[in-house]
């Protein structure tokens, strides 16, 4: 429109078509998490290939059935892409319309989604694995009609003030598990991406 505006980085990247989402589960078909939280096993992830940088900016987990048996959740990243899991075509967060691009932008990063820890990621090590967020319900409460823990099934969103900047090859992954029966859930992770050479 010919006007100069100031905007935050996230809004700019969304307008530039560089924001994407991986989602797990639908309203009719939730996924079921792992038993128990297991090394190298994740529910979903986003992978940055060499030459690309992935910046995860938001994650949401909505429990459909909270079995209340030591639920545990985590978001971590490693400097290697995932190796096993069902590919998911990242959803662009900039939609198309009559006055916008005729086709949506396509992600350079890739994603995977597989229930029950079916996404394989690099083994965790204190020297190479970054821990970004975690949440747990350490004790079960199975009495009907009582608080099932995790604020009655509400898991806090992850919207980091200082998100990790993951230069590829890299993987940001999400783990969802419980001690006996995995919780059923819907979830999504949003990220922005850019060619590494264009960033500071």
The token pair at 143 is 């009495």
Domain-embedded: residue 42: yes
pLDDT at 139: 62
pLDDT at 146: 44
Domain-embedded: residue 17: no
Alpha carbon of 52 to those of 1, 47, 48, 178, 192: distances in Å? Answer: 30, 9, 6, 34, 11
Alpha carbons 94 and 97: distance in angstroms, whole number: 10
Number of domains present in the structure of the chain: 1
Domain-embedded: residue 106: yes
pLDDT at 137: 76
Whether 180 contacts 47, CB under 8 Å:
no
Domain-embedded: residue 15: no
Domain-embedded: residue 58: yes
Alpha carbons 104 and 196: distance in angstroms, whole number: 22
Domain-embedded: residue 10: no
**Containing domain of residue 86, as a range?**
30-198
Domain-embedded: residue 176: yes
pLDDT at 4: 85
Alpha carbons 107 and 174: distance in angstroms, whole number: 19
Each residue's pLDDT, cut to its tens digit, for the chain (200 residues) gives 678 888 999 999 998 999 999 999 988 889 999 998 899 999 999 999 999 999 999 999 988 877 657 788 999 999 999 999 999 999 999 987 666 656 778 999 999 999 999 999 999 999 999 999 999 876 655 444 444 444 455 788 999 999 999 999 999 999 999 888 888 999 999 999 999 999 86
Q: Specify the pTM.
A: 0.89
Domain-embedded: residue 25: no
């Amino acid at each position: 429109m010919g006007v100069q505006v100031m905007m935050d980085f996230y809004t700019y990247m969304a307008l530039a078509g560089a924001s994407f989402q991986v989602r797990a589960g639908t309203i009719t078909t939730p996924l079921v998490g792992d038993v128990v939280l297991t090394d190298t096993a994740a529910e979903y992830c986003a992978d940055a290939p060499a030459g690309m940088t992935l910046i995860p900016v938001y994650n949401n987990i909505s429990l459909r059935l909270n079995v209340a048996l030591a639920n545990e959740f985590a978001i971590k990243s490693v400097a290697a892409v995932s190796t096993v899991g069902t590919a998911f075509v990242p959803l662009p967060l900039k939609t198309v319309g009559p006055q916008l691009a005729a086709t949506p932008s396509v992600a350079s990063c890739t994603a995977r989604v597989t229930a029950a820890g079916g996404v394989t990621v690099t083994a965790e090590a204190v020297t190479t694995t970054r821990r970004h967020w975690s949440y747990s319900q350490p004790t079960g409460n199975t009495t009907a009609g009582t608080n099932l823990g995790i604020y009655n099934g509400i898991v806090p969103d992850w919207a980091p003030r200082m998100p990790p900047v993951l230069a590829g090859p890299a993987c940001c992954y999400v783990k969802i598990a419980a001690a006996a029966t995995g919780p059923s859930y819907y979830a999504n992770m949003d990220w922005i991406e850019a060619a590494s050479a264009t960033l500071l």
